[in-house]
Amino acid sequence: MLNGWRLTLSKCFLLPQRYILGIMGFFAIVNAYTMRVSLSLAITEMVIPINATEYYDPEACTPVGSNQTNSAIRDQSTLYDWDEKTQGLILSAFYWGYVLTHLPGGILAEKFGGKYSLGLGVLSTALFTLITPWVIIWSGGNWKVLVALRIIEGLGEGTTYPALTALLAKWVPLKERATIGSIVFSGSQFGTILSNALSGELIRRTKDWASVFYFFGALAILWFILWVLLCYSDPSSHPFISDKEKEYLEKELSNVSNVKLDVPWKSILTSVPMWALVITQVGHDWGFFTMITDLPKYMKDVLKFNVSQNGTWSSVPYIVMLLTSIMSGWFCDFLVRRNIMSLTFSRKFFTSVASIGPAVFIVIASYAGCDRMLAVWMFTIAMAFMGCYYCGMKVNALDLSPNFAGTLMAIINGLGATSGIVTPYLAGALTEDHTLAQWRLVFWITFGVFGVTNLVYLLFGTGKEQLWNNPEYNAEKPKQPFEENGKANIEMKTSM
């Protein structure tokens, strides 16, 4: 009876369950990023408009149209006097909480499954997003209260990447890893596109910045309901997976243990490839967070776009990045399957493309001056290259240790996210006068961070599975756990 019910339900799905999980994982990140990024554009309309006579910029752009410096908000009492440093603190506050729950989220996902670790994290962020306008207005625009609220939102969302990585380790075979991983993680671009494009239109049509938070909070709650109904932590616990897919995954993921394992902390924390990934993640996040938190401010303060134009043009780079991340994931898997590239070389190659391209074109964009379309296209090319990160270093934690991928992603993504604390505040502190020259310095710093962190990955990164991924190896408790990291590095150098 039960098997017949399972068989009937499995036939209702046109796609295998691992693809359904991948699609829902994609939308998990979409929702996470819409709620995270929505403030970046909304805050440009939440502050009292800048008086351009307060500072002088010899490279200043001329506003397009006659109403560019006027507020788009109907109720002027909901505008607040937050200076650039204060705005930087508000934008960075999310990441203060975000970094703290990565490690607990990864451990919980590996111990109890990623389904509820991910789902409840997104749900909590959704609820706090919904009450954001009320909290701001109730506090009279007290930025300290908003900072506290954003920290709490970050705490909820910190479980997202560790839980998703743990889920992918249980569901995705090696030969599909770059493709499905790139699709899932490209949700960050789609979420940024959706947030920027719709936020501008929502504010323009409602003349109220609060609509942004209501809309994206409600979407995330809808996702949570579907997630609970459709997705499960592993194939063995899925009630209506087909026997064919279940057998296939058991065969392809034979190196992934279904036993709850003790985390080999000493081996992980002395792993050179793991720390190379941490440093590379810092570089990626530095560039990515600089763009998602500060590009709307650059578009308004330097290029003088109005709120609707800002939302539209701020989203264009991420549309192209979304396409390149998916295409590069497929291409990477193709190259590895055909033995054209080794796994290690492919990870390093695509990571380097995703570092050097953005570093160069972000700086070029700052020299485009007031040629608005040239600047937009330079930013777009930069983000197109950045899409290659996802089949490079972003899925590398799954290569190193599928059994402890959630814990690895927690450490890597959590420490990398410290960039999100630094970059908004640094940009705010360096651009107090809103001049092009000040923004150019921000982009040159980003160039340097990209270059240094990518060099570290080229020297010490690897696609080899680490010895401490093996439960039997960990049971032996070797006296020198660092030996496997040295071996991995030797293998990496010979594979180059």
Residues 6+ apart with CB under 8 A from 10: 240, 241, 242
The separation between CA 248 and the C-alpha centre of its own chain, rounded to angstroms, equals 30
Tens digits of residue pLDDT in 431-472: 877 788 888 999 999 999 999 999 999 999 998 888 888 776
Tens digits of residue pLDDT in 23-82: 999 999 999 999 988 888 888 888 887 654 455 566 667 766 544 455 677 777 788 888
- pLDDT on residue 361: 95
Residues 6+ apart with CB under 8 A from 202: 211, 212, 215
- pLDDT on residue 179: 78
Torsion of CA 280, 110, 182, 295, to 10 degrees: -60
Kindly report the number of other CB atoms within 10 A of residue 81's CB atom. 9
The separation between CA 11 and the C-alpha centre of its own chain, rounded to angstroms, equals 34
* Token pair listed for 361: 């074109």
In a 13 Å sphere around the CA of 258, the CA atoms on its Cβ side amount to 11
Give dist(CA 412, CA 135) in Å, integer: 33
310 pLDDT higher than 50? yes
Find the distance separating the first CA and the last CA of the chain, reported in whole Å.
55
b (16+ CB within 10 A) / e for 308-337: bbbbbbbbbbbbbbbebbbebbebbbebbe
Least confident range of 47-51, 156-160, 257-261, 266-270: 257-261
pTM of this structure:
0.73
Tens digits of residue pLDDT in 344-403: 999 999 999 999 999 999 999 989 878 888 988 999 999 999 989 888 888 888 889 888
